[in-house]
């Protein structure tokens, strides 16, 4: 994909791999919508992009609140008449061994809410804009750390651990990716997910008490491959490990599990199945 004059939204782009992606997209001529919670850090990224001749704007939102996710989508629609690429990158890590169960503003388990549900809602809200801009791409930044969703206890009220919560939320992203790809056939909008790199040198990894293995540049290469590589044109519904096509946990390929997650997600975000059908038709 030629990036010049394309509009791209990168969630979680004020730090780590998200910032690297935003700056590279800006350098390639894209109009970058930078997202984060901290306005100061956001404006720093915008300034860095503009200093190299790029175009960028900062949009603040806390993805732990579904109301703020909706406001973010509204802000995107207010600022641009097109959206060529959506990169759902924002997330909460495992929190390390001492991680305690936390809830979002809406009362949902925090990692499920931020890592998965926010991206589900944001994508749903922006689908009309993406479809109007087709060919367009959605990239969901997931992880090789995956755990099957326990539909009897999705919010992990029993036997909680930060690692379990993180892995479940990341697999939920992949189920969503494969489900959405089926529903977007023929629209010109593709959606793929990936594990960018193992234990990148990010705040999230260091907070988990893990010594980084990979650079954020390696992860950014993999994400941008899905966002812009000509080789991915028209390809949808895949999971990548870095830049290599791979296989996710078996639950991702269970159609009943994907449908069950979709129905639950619509319920949790207050969307009707009718609205969903209209957005995906």
Catalytic site residue from 166, 199, 239, 253 = 166
Distance, CA of 141 to CA of 93 (rounded, Å) = 13
Q: Rounding to the nearest 10 degrees, give the CA dihedral for residues 208, 213, 218, 223.
A: -40
Q: For the chain, how many residues are written?
A: 281
Lookup result for tokens 């009718």:
274
Please indicate whether residue 166 is annotated as part of the active site.
Answer: yes
The 8-class DSSP code of residue 213 comes to: -
Let me know the angle formed at the C-alpha of 68 by 67 and 74, rounded to the nearest 5 degrees.
95
Identify whether 97 is preceded by a cis peptide bond (ω within 30 of 0). no
Do 82 and 132 touch, CB atoms closer than 8 A?
A: yes
> Two tokens at 253?
């390929």
Structural element, H or E, at residue 50? helix 39-51
Residues annotated as catalytic (active site), given as ranges: 166
């Amino acid at each position: 994909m030629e990036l010049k004059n394309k509009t791209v939204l990168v969630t979680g782009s004020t730090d780590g791999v998200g910032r690297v992606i935003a700056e590279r997209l800006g350098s390639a001529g894209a109009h970058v919508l930078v997202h984060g919670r901290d306005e100061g850090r956001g404006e720093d990224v915008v300034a860095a992009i503009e200093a190299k001749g790029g175009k960028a704007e900062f949009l603040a939102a806390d993805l732990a609140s579904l109301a703020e996710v909706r406001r973010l989508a509204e802000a995107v629609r207010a600022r641009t008449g097109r959206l060529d690429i959506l990169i759902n990158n924002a997330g909460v890590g495992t929190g390390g061994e001492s991680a305690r169960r936390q809830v979002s503003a809406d009362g949902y388990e925090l990692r499920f809410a931020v890592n998965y549900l926010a991206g589900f809602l944001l994508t749903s809200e922006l689908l009309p804009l993406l479809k109007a801009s087709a060919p367009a791409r959605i990239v969901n930044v997931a992880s090789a750390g995956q755990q099957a969703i326990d539909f009897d206890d999705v919010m992990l009220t029993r036997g909680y651990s930060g690692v379990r919560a993180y892995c479940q939320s990341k697999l939920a992203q992949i189920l969503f990716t494969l489900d959405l790809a089926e529903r977007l056939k023929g629209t010109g909008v593709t959606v793929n997910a990936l594990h960018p790199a193992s234990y990148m040198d990010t705040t999230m990894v260091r907070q988990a008490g893990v010594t980084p293995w990979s650079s954020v540049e390696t992860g950014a290469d993999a994400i941008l491959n899905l966002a812009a590589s000509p080789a991915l044109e028209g390809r949808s519904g895949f999971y990548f490990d870095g830049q290599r096509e791979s296989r996710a946990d078996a639950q991702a390929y269970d159609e009943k599990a994907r449908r069950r997650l979709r129905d639950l997600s619509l319920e949790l975000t207050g969307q009707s199945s009718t609205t969903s059908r209209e957005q995906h038709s």
